[in-house]
Amino acid sequence: MATSLDADVRPIIPDDIARVVIAPKSYTDDATIYGAFRWLREHMPLGIAQVPGYDPIWVVTKHADIKEVERNGKLFHNADHNPILVDQASDAFTREINGGSLRILSSLTYMDPPEHASYRTLTSNWFLPGKISKLEEQIRVLARQSVDNLLSFDGECDFVRDFALHYPLRVIMTLFGVPPEDEPRMLKLTQEFFGVHDPEEQRPEMAADPVVAAKQWAASIEDFYVYFDKLSAARREQPTDDLLSLIANSRINGAPIPRDEANGYYVAIATAGHDTTSSSTAGGLHGMMVYPENWAKVKADPSLIPGLVDEAIRWTSPVKHFMRNATADTQVRGMDIRAMDRLMICYPSGNRDEAVFADADRFDITRSPNPHIAFGFGPHMCLGQHLAKLEMRILFEELLPHLESVELAGDPRLVETNFVGGYKALPIRFKKS
C-alpha cells in the first residue's frame, strides 16, 4: 500500500544517519548512535529513514514528539504492524510461519485498545508502588546475596557477568515463583530473545541465515511456552500468591485467560523484567566512574540513591525503540503523517534532548526534575517501572557501603541491538570498605 512515506516531498534523512539509527551495531558505540540522534534533533527531528531492506519509517527523536505520539493509543497503534523494527525479510518470515500475522507473541506490547486495557488491568494493581513496596524485605535478601557474591571477588570482576545480570533475574523469578535451578534457562532465553542481532547471542546454527532474527524469536518463544505451560498448569491446580498464579487464574470476559495470552504475559514479564534493569544498574555504576563527582556525592549522602537510579535509567535508556502505526491521517510537528505510516520511537534520543535536559550527555545524579521517558509514556508505559526502581534502589543501598572506590579495569562492551540491551561487559577494579 502506498503511504506518505513514499512521496519525495517528505523530509528524507541522509542515508548515513538513517543507517546508523537502524543498524544494531551502532548501539554498541555511544558516540556513533548519540551523534546521529543529536544531528537528527537539530536538523530533522521528525524525518523519514529509507534504508534498503526495511520499511520506510518516521524517526521520532524529540522528547515532546515521543510523548505526543505515545500518549494517543487510539491514533497510534502498536499492533497493526510489528511493534519492533526488523527488516522486511524477517517480517515476511514471521508472517509465513504465523498464519499471515506479525503478532508473534500475545503480550501487552502486541495489543491495542480495547484489548490492551482489559489485559493490562489483570496485573496493574499488583505492580502499583504501594503493593510493590511490600516486597522490599524479600528483595533486600536477594540484594544482600548478590552483594556478598560480588565481595567474594578479589578486587576485580566483570560487574555485568558477575553481578548485575543475575540479581534482577533472581528478583523477577522469585516474584514469579520460578525455581532457582531454572534461572539459567530463563537467562539464556531472554538473551536470545533480545540479543537477536548480536552474533555472540545467536544460536550458532542460525547465524548465517537472512531470517535469523525471526527464526530465533520463534524458537525462543516456543522454548518459553513449553516451560510456562507446565508451571501454569501447576498454579491452576494449586493456586499460590505469586504473580504467575495471578495470571494463570485470571479471567477475561468471564472465561479463563487463553493459553497464548497467559504465555504471552509470562514471556513479556520474564524478559522485560531483568535485562533492562541489569543494564541500567551497570549504567549507573559506569556513569559514576566516568563522572566521579557523583560517586563522592552519593557515598557522602545515600539519600541521593533514588536520583542515581533515575539518572542511571535515563543515561542508559536500555529500551532503544518501539514502533507505532498511524491509524488515521494526522500531523505531528507540522508534518503530515498518513494512516498506515510507521513511526520509530527513539527513547535514548528523547532522553538526551537538550530542550528538556541541560548538559544532557552528562551523568548527574542530582538532576532534578528528571522527566526521562526510558519507561515510555501513555497507555503502554512500562508496567514494571516501580519494581525496576525499587530493585535498583535496594541494590545500590546494599552495595555502596561496602565499596570504598571503584574504577574501570577495561573497556565496557555493549550489546549489538536496536531494541533492548545495554552492557555486555563492564570490567571493574574495586576496593572494599
Query: Contact positions toward ligand HEM, by CB under 6 A?
Result: 70, 108-109, 120, 172, 268-269, 272-273, 276-277, 280, 313, 318-319, 322, 347, 374-378, 380-384, 387-388
Considering beta carbons, is residue 187 or 212 the nearer one to ligand HEM? 187
Least distance (Å) between residue 403 CB and ligand HEM: 21
Considering beta carbons, is residue 36 or 122 the nearer one to ligand HEM? 122
Considering beta carbons, is residue 227 or 377 the nearer one to ligand HEM? 377
Least distance (Å) between residue 388 CB and ligand HEM: 4
Strands 76-77 and 322-326: antiparallel
Least distance (Å) between residue 402 CB and ligand HEM: 23
Least distance (Å) between residue 420 CB and ligand HEM: 8
User: In the structure grid, which three cell numbers stand for residue 407, read together?
Assistant: 574504577
Q: What angle do CA 229, 78, 390 make, to 5 degrees?
A: 65
Least distance (Å) between residue 116 CB and ligand HEM: 6
Least distance (Å) between residue 171 CB and ligand HEM: 8
Identify the burial level of 409 via C-beta atoms within 10 angstroms of its C-beta, where 0-12 means exposed, 13-18 middle and 19 or more buried: middle
Considering beta carbons, is residue 33 or 211 the nearer one to ligand HEM? 33
Least distance (Å) between residue 249 CB and ligand HEM: 18
Contact 244, 232 (CB under 8 A): yes
Considering beta carbons, is residue 225 or 419 the nearer one to ligand HEM? 419
Q: Which of 113, 16, 125, 18 is closest to 71 using CA atoms? A: 113
Q: Which of 82, 78, 40 is closest to 61 using CA atoms? A: 40
Give dist(CA 377, CA 29) in Å, integer.
26
Considering beta carbons, is residue 211 or 262 the nearer one to ligand HEM? 262
User: In the structure grid, which three cell numbers stand for residue 115, read together?
Assistant: 484489548
Least distance (Å) between residue 292 CB and ligand HEM: 23
- Rounded to the nearest 10 degrees, what angle do helices 385-399 and 136-151 cross at? 50
Considering beta carbons, is residue 112 or 201 the nearer one to ligand HEM? 112
Contact 175, 141 (CB under 8 A): no
Considering beta carbons, is residue 307 or 318 the nearer one to ligand HEM? 318
Considering beta carbons, is residue 215 or 342 the nearer one to ligand HEM? 342
Least distance (Å) between residue 72 CB and ligand HEM: 12
Least distance (Å) between residue 157 CB and ligand HEM: 22
Considering beta carbons, is residue 105 or 150 the nearer one to ligand HEM? 105
Least distance (Å) between residue 111 CB and ligand HEM: 7
User: What's the gap between Cα 332 and its chain centre?
Assistant: 25
Q: Which long-range contacts (CB under 8 A, 24 or more apart) does 101-108 make?
A: 103/79, 104/217, 104/218, 104/221, 105/221, 105/264, 105/267, 105/268, 106/258, 106/260, 106/261, 106/263, 106/264, 107/264, 107/265, 107/267, 107/268, 108/265, 108/268, 108/380, 108/383
Strands 342-345 and 57-60: parallel
Considering beta carbons, is residue 40 or 388 the nearer one to ligand HEM? 388
